[in-house]
Amino acid sequence: MSFDVAAIRAQFPILKREIDGNRLVYLDNAATTQKPQAVIDSIVSYYTECNSNVHRGAHTLADEATRRFEYARDIIANFINAPDRKEVIWTSGTTESINIVAHGLQQLLKVGDEVVVTEMEHHANLVTWQQVSKGSGASLLVAPITDDGELNIDKFKACLSKQTKMVAMPHVSNALGTVNPLDVLIPLVRQHAPNAYILIDGAQGVAHGGVDVQALGCDFYVFSGHKLFGPTGIGVLWGKADILNEWPVWQTGGEMISIVTYQDATWGELPNRLEAGTPHIAGAIGFGAAVEWFSALDLAAVQAHEQALMTSATEQAMAFDGLTIIGKAKHKAGVLSFNLDGSHPADVGFLLDKQGIAIRTGDHCAQPLMNRLNVPGTARASFSIYNTLDEVDMLFAGLKKVQMMLM
């Protein structure tokens, strides 16, 4: 098992940047990852060699664009082990994917039904279900977490019943890095809530590889391209074919129809029925290139490298006087949230940026979670495959300077 981080870094042009005369140390990967040259080249190639709409033209450019677009779908289907490529639906990202599912479920929900989420949700997977529940008369149940940021499994189970129609939960918490034990949680839902659909917010989980939707046993798995070295504005809704074939359509228009008259219309087959209008063609092609690039790496070596980064960061954080780690789950991936005593996270982020170190600060689109943990927000360092142990050291050296300036 080998992992050459220097060779990986060389493929990311932006990592050569300097900020205020300092080498860029990019530790905001949970917000978005940087793009390797292979992805940039794939997008440029589409626009310079075969820019055209897909599925519609009778000319060479349209044919080439369509083949690249659909090849990207094949790459994604293989990456998540989807049983059928038609189950991969292109969307603008995780948020739209969740909304497509929620829009359909709202038409099926009624008073007395229940939707279950967790206390660690991103707003995209909380507010969407909150509003759907309010609009349909269903009840929204929120499964609690522990003070360490782990889902309380007993209380999660207590939320499940025959009235449960949807369980929506994150694979990995964007704010805490907690990895939820889906191999335990999904069977619990099947046992105690037999009428429920299961949606997994994989925006953070998919970036670490090894997602197998068939092995997971969920009904929907949603994720974004830009969290996995791909472009912004492109994402995936994966769902079981028998469910998606009957799911109420999200948008109507071109491409998704079968027969149209002035009086009525019928819908096409998957994936077209859920992909109305001209898609983000360059984005899909770029996302396919990103996943193809990532899939060529040694996944075990990648995960070992990421774990080494987290181990070093956690050990240094625990030894750092005046620093409090927010989220101490036993199983975490890629995220270290923390606060410095007597300092606002925004000030910490600003002063780190002056040293070339990019982190995220604030509530991380998880205001109720911050309230649950009784903090106004956190500073969050999040790691990816191109980060180094040296950069972890630079983070904590930078925090020492911040602490001295804010004392």
Catalytic residues, by residue number, are 365
Give 140's contacts (C-beta < 8 A, 6+ positions apart).
114, 115, 116, 117, 129, 130, 133, 134
Rounded CA-CA distance 175/377 in Å is 10
Neighbours of 327 (CB within 10 A): 24
Amino acid at 310: M
Backbone torsion region of residue 399, taken as left when φ is above 0, otherwise alpha when ψ lies between -120 and 50, otherwise beta: alpha
Q: Which amino acid is at 243?
A: I
The answer to whether 90 touches 280, Cβ cutoff 8 Å, is yes
CB atoms within 10 A of CB 75: 20
Rounded to 5 degrees, φ, ψ at 131 are: -70, -35
Distance CA 359, CA 379 (A): 7
Q: Which residues of 329-342 are buried (b: 16+ CB within 10 A; e: fewer)?
A: beebbbbbbbbbee
Distance of alpha carbon 139 from alpha carbon 157, whole angstroms: 16
Rounded distance, CA 41 to CA 316, Å? 38
Phi, psi of 371 (to 5 degrees): -65, -40
> Distances in Å between the alpha carbon of 221 and those of 88, 166, 251, 335?
10, 13, 20, 21
Q: Which of 385, 280, 359 is nearest to 7 (CA)?
A: 385
